[in-house]
C-alpha cells in the first residue's frame, strides 16, 4: 500500500533552508528591479529634461532672431523713408509702389448733402447712404445694406457681375427717403471702394490689374471698373455718377480727416496691411500732371511689399514666404498682419513638436495644417489671465486636438505668441516712424507744436490689445518724449465705407455750385 511520505525533520530543515535561499534570491531580484526602475525613471527624467531644454532653446533662439532693439527699428524707419523717396521718383523705382491716388481734396468737415458709397472687397459688398450735415454737424445719419455675391458671378462675366451690383444698388436707392431726392437735372454721387489691384488713371477711373480673393473674371482685367459699373447702372436707368474710386486705406484717411483736420496718414492693420498719407504734389517727381489747387496728393504706399535687411526674418518667416502664393512679395505684410501671425506661431510649435517631442512622442497631425491657428486664437491665448492658462489649454485642445498640456507647456505657447506679436507691433511702429520722417514730423521744430494724427483701422489693431499697446508704446519710445507729445494714434472705424462717401462729397461735380 502506498503511503504518503511526510517530511522528516531533516527534510523540513532542508526545506526551510531552500525557502530561505529562494527568499534571499527574490529579494535580490526585487532590489535589482527597483534599481532598474529607478534607473529608468532617472533616464526618463534626463530625456525629458533634455527635450524640455531643447524646447526652451528653440524658444530662446526664436526670441533672439526676432529681436527688435531700438537701433534696428530706427534703421527700418530710415529704410522706409528711403524707399518712399525712391517710389515717388519713378515707377518701379522701389518695392513700395507709392501709387498716385488722384485724391487731391480730402474732406474738410463742411461737406453736406446725401452721398452713396459702394464697398467691394470680397465675397460680400456693402452699399451705404450717408447724410452729411455740413459744418460742425458731421454725419447726421447713415444706412447700409450688405449683399452676398453668388459664387458663379465671381468667375463669370464682367457684365453679369456689375449688372448684379448695379441692381442691388438701385434697390437700395429706391428706399431713399423722399425728402432727399436730388432736384431735377442733378445726379446722385457715389464713392466706390474697390479693394483689388487697380492702376488709377484719375480720381474716378482705374483699370483692373488682376483679381484676387477668389474672383477670376478674365474680361474685366485691363478694363476701367468705373466704366463697367457705369454701363450697368445706365442699362437699368440708375442716374448716378461715380465721383471717386478709392481703396480702403484711402477711405480710412478720408474718414479720419473728416473728423480731425490734423490727420496726415492712415494705416490698416487687419488681415492685410497698407498705409496712405498726404504728400505735397511738388515732392512727387513722377507726377507729370498739373499741380492741384490744394497742392496735395494722397499716396497709396502699398507698404505691405516693403523689405529691408533689418526686418528680423527667422527660419519660420522664410519658410512661410517660400511656401506662399507670392514668394518674395509682401514681406512686411507677412511679418505684421493678421493673416500671418498665428501661422508663424504654428510653425514654431511644429518645430518644438518635431525636435523636442513637445506634445509627446508623436507630432499632432493638426499641427501640420498650414493656417489652422488663426491670429484671433493666438490673441485669445496671449491675453489669457487665468492662473493655469486654461484658455491656452482649451485652444490647443479645440483647434490642434492636443490634450493634457501642463501649465509649464502653456507658458511656452504664450511666450511664442508674445514674441510674434511684439515683433509685428514694433515693426509696424517703425513703419509709421518712416512716414513721419518722410514728412519731417518726427522731430519738433522750434516754436511749433503741430499735432500729427495717424488714423488706424483694421481688426488686428482694434481687437488685439497687446499688439495695439505695444505699437503705441514703441512709437513713443522711438520718437522721444517731446516729439511723442505731437503724434496721436486714433482709431478710425469703418473708413472704407463712410470714407468713400466723404470722398464723393469732396470731389463732387457740384462743389461751389449754388443750389437753386
Catalogue the active-site residues: 126, 195, 248
Q: Are 510 and 186 in contact (CB under 8 A)?
A: yes
Hunting for cell 450697368 — which residue is that?
Answer: 232
Q: How far is CA 16 from the centre of its chain?
A: 82
343's enclosing H/E stretch is helix 338-356
For residue 457, the surrounding DSSP H or E stretch is strand 452-457
Cα angle 201-97-94, degrees, rounded to a multiple of 5: 140
C-alpha cell at 423: 515683433
Alpha-carbon dihedral of residues 79, 81, 82, 85, nearest 10 degrees? 160
431 near 306, Cβ under 8 Å?
yes
**CB 147 within 8 Å of CB 119:** no
CB distance 111 to 131 below 8 Å: no
Query: Which residues 6+ apart lie within 8 Å of 475 measured at CB?
Result: 429, 432, 433, 484, 487, 489
Cα–Cα distance list, 224 to 202, 240, 289, 332, 500 (Å): 11, 17, 20, 29, 18
3-state per-residue secondary structure call for 370-407: CCCCCHHHHHHHHCCCCCCCHHHHHHHHHHHCCCCCCH
Q: What is the DSSP letter of 317?
A: H
CB atoms < 10 A from the CB of 140, how many? 12
Contact 455, 276 (CB under 8 A): no
Q: Taking phi first (over 0 means left), then psi (-120 to 50 degrees means alpha), and beta for anything else, what does residue 149 get?
A: beta
Dump strand ranges (E) for 134-197: 139-148, 188-194
Q: Kindly give the pairing relationship between strand 487-491 and strand 452-457.
A: parallel
First to last CA, the chain: 143
Cα(424)–Cα(426) distance, integer angstroms:
6
Q: In whole angstroms, give the CA distance from residue 166 to residue 169.
A: 5
Helix axes 407-438, 70-89, angle to 10 degrees: 40
Amino acid at each position: 500500500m502506498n503511503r504518503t511520505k511526510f517530511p522528516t525533520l531533516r527534510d523540513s530543515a532542508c526545506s526551510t533552508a531552500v525557502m530561505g535561499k529562494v527568499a534571499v534570491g527574490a529579494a535580490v531580484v526585487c532590489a535589482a528591479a527597483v534599481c532598474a526602475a529607478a534607473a529608468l525613471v532617472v533616464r526618463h527624467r534626463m530625456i525629458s529634461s533634455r527635450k524640455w531644454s531643447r524646447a526652451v532653446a528653440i524658444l530662446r533662439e526664436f526670441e533672439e532672431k526676432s529681436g527688435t532693439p531700438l537701433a534696428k527699428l530706427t534703421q527700418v524707419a530710415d529704410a522706409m523713408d528711403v524707399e518712399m523717396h525712391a517710389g515717388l521718383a519713378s515707377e518701379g523705382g522701389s518695392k513700395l509702389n507709392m501709387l498716385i491716388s488722384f485724391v487731391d481734396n480730402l474732406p474738410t468737415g463742411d461737406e453736406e448733402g446725401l452721398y452713396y458709397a459702394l464697398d467691394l472687397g470680397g465675397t460680400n459688398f456693402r452699399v451705404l447712404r450717408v447724410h452729411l450735415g455740413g459744418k460742425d454737424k458731421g454725419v447726421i445719419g447713415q444706412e447700409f445694406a450688405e449683399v452676398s455675391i453668388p459664387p458663379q458671378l465671381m468667375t463669370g462675366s464682367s457684365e453679369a457681375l456689375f449688372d448684379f451690383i448695379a441692381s442691388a444698388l438701385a434697390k437700395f436707392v429706391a428706399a431713399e427717403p423722399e425728402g432727399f431726392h436730388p432736384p431735377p437735372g442733378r445726379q446722385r454721387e457715389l464713392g466706390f471702394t474697390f479693394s483689388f489691384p487697380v492702376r488709377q488713371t484719375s480720381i474716378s477711373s482705374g483699370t483692373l490689374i488682376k483679381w484676387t480673393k477668389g474672383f477670376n473674371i478674365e474680361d474685366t482685367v485691363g478694363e476701367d471698373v468705373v466704366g463697367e459699373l457705369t454701363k450697368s447702372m445706365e442699362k437699368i436707368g440708375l442716374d448716378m455718377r461715380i465721383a471717386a474710386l478709392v481703396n480702403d486705406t484711402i477711405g480710412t484717411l478720408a474718414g479720419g480727416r473728416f473728423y480731425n483736420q490734423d490727420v496726415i496718414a492712415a494705416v490698416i492693420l487687419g488681415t492685410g496691411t497698407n498705409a496712405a498719407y498726404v504728400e505735397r504734389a511738388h515732392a512727387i517727381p513722377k507726377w507729370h500732371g498739373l499741380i492741384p489747387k490744394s497742392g496735395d496728393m494722397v499716396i497709396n504706399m502699398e507698404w505691405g511689399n516693403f523689405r529691408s535687411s533689418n526686418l528680423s526674418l527667422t527660419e519660420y518667416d522664410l519658410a512661410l514666404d517660400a511656401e506662399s502664393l507670392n514668394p518674395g512679395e509682401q514681406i512686411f505684410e507677412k511679418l505684421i498682419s493678421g493673416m500671418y501671425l498665428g501661422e508663424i506661431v504654428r510653425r514654431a510649435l511644429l518645430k518644438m513638436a518635431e525636435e523636442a517631442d513637445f506634445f509627446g512622442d508623436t507630432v499632432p497631425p493638426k499641427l501640420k495644417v498650414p493656417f489652422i491657428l488663426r491670429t484671433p486664437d493666438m490673441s485669445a491665448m496671449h491675453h489669457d489671465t487665468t492662473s493655469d492658462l486654461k484658455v491656452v489649454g482649451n485652444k490647443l485642445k479645440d483647434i490642434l486636438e492636443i490634450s493634457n498640456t501642463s501649465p509649464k507647456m502653456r507658458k511656452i505657447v504664450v511666450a511664442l505668441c508674445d514674441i510674434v506679436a511684439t515683433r509685428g507691433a514694433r515693426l509696424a511702429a517703425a513703419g509709421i516712424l518712416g512716414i513721419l520722417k518722410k514728412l519731417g514730423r518726427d522731430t519738433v521744430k522750434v516754436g511749433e507744436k503741430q499735432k500729427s494724427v495717424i488714423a488706424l483701422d483694421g481688426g488686428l489693431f482694434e481687437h488685439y490689445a497687446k499688439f495695439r499697446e505695444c505699437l503705441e508704446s514703441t512709437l513713443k519710445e522711438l520718437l522721444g518724449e517731446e516729439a511723442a507729445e505731437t503724434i496721436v494714434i486714433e482709431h478710425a472705424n469703418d473708413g472704407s465705407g463712410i470714407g468713400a462717401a466723404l470722398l464723393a462729397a469732396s470731389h463732387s461735380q457740384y462743389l461751389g455750385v449754388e443750389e437753386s
